[in-house]
Structure 1
């Protein structure tokens, strides 16, 4: 029985005992009152339970909040003290609020010195170093007055370290700073800046720094002053690298730089412009006498031998000189004119100096015009080949032809090879011209008798700036010419300048069946050593040895020695420049293999080749030019 039924039963019993006539109404009223009281009691109990529950949760939240704050504080401390950079926070009164361990380490502060409330001024006073380019006190005064921006400060410590501070100043005058050791970064930046303006091999200023020095000298030039620029280039230095090695060449270059430095003195600017190029900038009132004395001193210093171990190396130097204001008042102009003068010094044979003249500039302009025309000629194939016979003295007949390129300019007419071939080599067009010559010579030769060969000259640049074996193979395949009918002629300069690159290429060509000849034999420095390095099929004696062989016994003796040398090495010998019957007769008696020259025939167009081949041997051998 529930509480309400029990209460109803008790009420009924009481009413019956009273004997009241209105028992039903009384009982209903009593029951309703009970219900109300019971409901209030349950509500009160529910509210009580809710309050107890909420109070427990509140206490739990308070405990959790305290634990979270403690954990965040611990985490913040760990992060702060493990930052790779130093951190400090100062209030608006410039008193330390918080810092980390790295901040104290960077500046050498103890925990007591960098404790909260320490003043910025007291900390700066304890720094064992100086602020770069700034006074510490002036910066301190500005700290509170300047707000809402970022400042940079840099400290050079007594131990050589460089500390950089990046300070964020807040509008109320307080600040937050990040501090970092930038010593290695600064050294690297300084090294990069140094290398950007200096030559790493010699330590001399480079071309960029020289331009800056010329700019400054021209800007500060007084009316009665002259500024001289000397452009120097070592003659044939590349051969030293090839014969002695790059390491030995670098050592010699450092010695060269030191000798020029001693000659130039402290008052002049010396720079290295390239591998074997230097420049000296000289200012003064007495020009050209001062610069003349300078170049004489440089020449004397460099004329003394350089030694690599017990081996002496001798150098010569070419120099071009331009003087401001008469040769130019702008840096680019002065540099250009000194370079023009140097080009003329080298084209004159080197080992000399030239002052710039207006005529030189006119020649350079003409040269640039010729270069532009030459580029068009390559595109339009304005070339043709002439062929000079190679005459076999034993068989008394023509055995081949040397292909010689000719340029038929549309307005200039015939341009001499000595005028455009060196230009083509200098500007890189000789590769395209050489490739064209190979193709044309093979196409022409395929129509000749099969025992007639064709010889083609190859430039040193074709060994370094092209795939020569591929070009030769393509020319032979296109013309369907047998490889044994092609003869490649190289000068000794090919080996002197590119020995390591040239020898493998020559072996590839020879293995394919092509004959290899050394042209202009005897005009270089190490002909015999090269004959040992590579098994040439032929050596061609330069015509300079032929001129006096009839009258000059010494010239004849040299000629005979070379012919005997070729025979001993199993190499055919061709003598160039044979122009008289007397020379021909003498060479026949010495059992020379081949001759070439105007006595047989000058170079002729390809259409004349059949006529030359059809002539009787006795007529050909006695033909005069």
Structure 2
């Protein structure tokens, strides 16, 4: 017991030495002030205050190192410390350095015993790096916001509840909300109708951003239509992903391009590639493509018969009245053919004054004869073009398709062409045709 008592002062001194070493080597500043005067400052505190030596700090009023606007809040905090060992809440303040500069810090004050008196021990944490990081983050956010605001691409951030957190100007413009703020609006409350690729109303579960929020799935190049409040329809290509995939509470970001004009121009190009520019009918390539598809089936043939139609004496119209009137005749004949056929029949112009008709379903016997008679009668109606009364007659050749038909589209076309020549009046036939086909007949 006696040895323990004898060793007690040594143990206390060892603890005190360890504490002083810890404080001296602390990366945070530590300062002690008693009755308003600094009585201790560790090396880190001297560096924070840019002091050349301890005498510039020790013995000085503590308020000399505090910005005037921070003095009263500091005094108010330490007045509340009335029991030894109590600490203030962390507080930010600005210190004045010995070189006249200033530094932002976070401080915690503790009322503690100091050489048999009570004093305030203050731990001071330099906020310089934190402020630099915060400033860099603000600059990055401002830069990001500036870039996003200038994009032609719409960008919308939507929280887990489906509410819009942000929307750039392009998104508001595409949605037709340029003057309104979309922030806080639930996407289901927007008076917008989303459409699938076939222009049919889209189920909400198909919305790209809803899929992303529900499953975490990244959706890319999803094409959909948008009917706006002003009645305009726009077509968009959208991408949707979680803003932070590693965060289960992450909002989703949806970006989209307006492809309305591109889609229209592509459809126009597709139309031009498959339709005759003069009459608007399907062109040779499209008609033969549809015929090939029909020949490729083994049951329930979508095309039962093929009609080859040639206008008799059309070259004379071109030669005597000019190509402009000839073009008008072709346009009117095309219109009459379309009106005389059913909606699921296909009629195309395959060149010059030649037309090809693909009859759908089973159109045989008397029904086929009646249809051909109606078409011939419709085309024979006089055409008035630029003061000229023009009579047009047509020769029509027919070939039938059957299950298992192994002909190529070109062979079917040739057989219908042969049948058409056999149907022509003698004075309009050219050459002698010897080939016959059991699947053709002339009308």
Rg comparison, structure with higher value: 1
Q: Choose the corresponding residue for 2:277, options 200, 208, 225.
A: 200
Deviations 1:303-340 (A, max 9, x none): 34433233233333333221122994545142232123
Query: Is 1:210 aligned to residue 280 of structure 2?
Result: no
State the match for 2:400 in structure 1.
Answer: 323
Q: Which moved more, 1:282-291 or 1:192-201?
A: 282-291
Equivalents in 2 of 1:356, 1:295: separation in Å? 23
1:322–1:355: 8 Å Cα contact kept in structure 2? no
In structure 2, do the counterparts of structure 1 residues 146 and 246 end up closer, same or farther at CA, with 3 Å as the change threshold? farther
Deviation per residue, 1:324-379 (Å, 9 max, x gap): 22994545142232123335556954379x99833899xxxxxxxxxxxxxxxxxx
Q: Determine helix, strand or coil for the equivalent of 2:256.
A: strand
Tell me how far apart the structure 2 counterparts of residues 97 and 160 of structure 1 sit (CA, whole Å): 25
Query: 1:270 & 1:86 partners in 2: Cα distance?
Result: 43
- CA distance in structure 2 between the partners assigned to 1:286 and 1:73 by the alignment: 70
Q: Quick one: higher RCO (CA 8 Å, sep 6+), 1 or 2?
A: 2
Equivalent of 1:276, from 353, 371, 376?
A: 353
Q: What is aligned with 1:98? A: 166
Q: Distance in 1 between matches of 2:205 and 2:240?
A: 19
2:420 paired residue among 342, 361, 385: 342
Which of these residues, 216, 236, 239, is aligned with residue 147 of structure 1?
216
1:13-65 deviations in Å (ceiling 9; x for gaps): xxxxxxxxxxxxxxxxxxxxxxxxxxxxxxx9x9818x979995988977877
Please give the TM-score of this superposition, normalised by the length of structure 1. Answer: 0.42
Task: Output the CA distance in 2 between the equivalents of 1:235 and 1:280.
Answer: 17
- Retained in 2: the 8 A contact 1:169–1:175? yes
CA distance, structure 2, for counterparts of residue 267 and residue 166 of structure 1: 35
Deviation at 1:282, TM superposition (A): 2.4
- Provide, for residues 374-399 of structure 1, a one-character-per-residue CA deviation record: whole Å limited to 9, x for no partner: xxxxxxxxxxxxxxxxxxxxxxxxxx
Tell me the equivalent position of 1:358: 437
Q: Which moved further from structure 2: 87-96 or 332-341? A: 87-96
* Separation in structure 2 between the aligned mates of residue 288 and residue 327 of structure 1, nearest angstrom: 21
Q: Secondary structure at the match of 2:351?
A: coil
The residue that corresponds to 1:130 in the other structure is 194
Partner residue, 2:28 = none
Structure 2 residues without counterparts, runs of 5 or longer: 1-46, 57-96, 105-126
Q: Describe the shift of the 1:230–1:55 C-alpha distance in structure 2 as closer, same or farther (beyond 3 A).
A: farther
SS in structure 1 at match of 2:327: helix
Per-residue deviation, 1:114 = 2.6
Q: Could you tell me how far apart the structure 2 residues matched to 1:229 and 1:335 are?
A: 8
Q: Kindly indicate whether residue 208 of structure 2 is the aligned counterpart of residue 157 of structure 1.
A: no
Residues paired across the two proteins, number: 311
| Counterpart for residue 335 of structure 2 | 258
Matches within 5 A, 1:503-582: none
Cα 1:313–1:221 change in 2 (3 A) is: farther
Specify whether residues 286 and 245 from structure 1 end up closer, same or farther in structure 2 by C-alpha distance, changes over 3 A only. Answer: closer
Structure number having the greater helix percentage? 1
Secondary structure at the counterpart of residue 195 of structure 1:
helix
Higher strand share: 2
| Aligned-residue RMSD, C-alpha | 4.4
8 Å Cα contact 2:305-2:363 kept in structure 1: no
What is the distance in 2 between the residues matched to 1:94 and 1:262?
51
The answer to whether the 8 Å contact 1:327/1:334 transfers is no
- Aligned-residue offset at 1:128: 2.5
Give, in angstroms, the shift of residue 98 of structure 1.
Answer: 3.2
Sort the Cα spacing of 1:57 and 1:165 in 2 relative to 1 into closer, same or farther, 3 A: farther
Residues 180 and 187 of structure 1, relative CA distance in 2, 3 Å threshold:
same
Cα 1:110–1:310 shift into 2, 3 Å: closer
- TM-score where L is the length of structure 2: 0.57
CA distance in 1, matches of 2:237, 2:384: 53
Task: Write out aligned runs for 1:427-466 (5 A).
Answer: none
Q: Give the SS at the match of 2:266.
A: helix
Secondary structure of 1:48's partner?
A: coil
CA distance in 1, matches of 2:372, 2:404: 18
Question: What secondary structure does 1:273 align onto?
Answer: strand
Q: Deviations over 1:529-566 (max 9, x none)?
A: xxxxxxxxxxxxxxxxxxxxxxxxxxxxxxxxxxxxxx
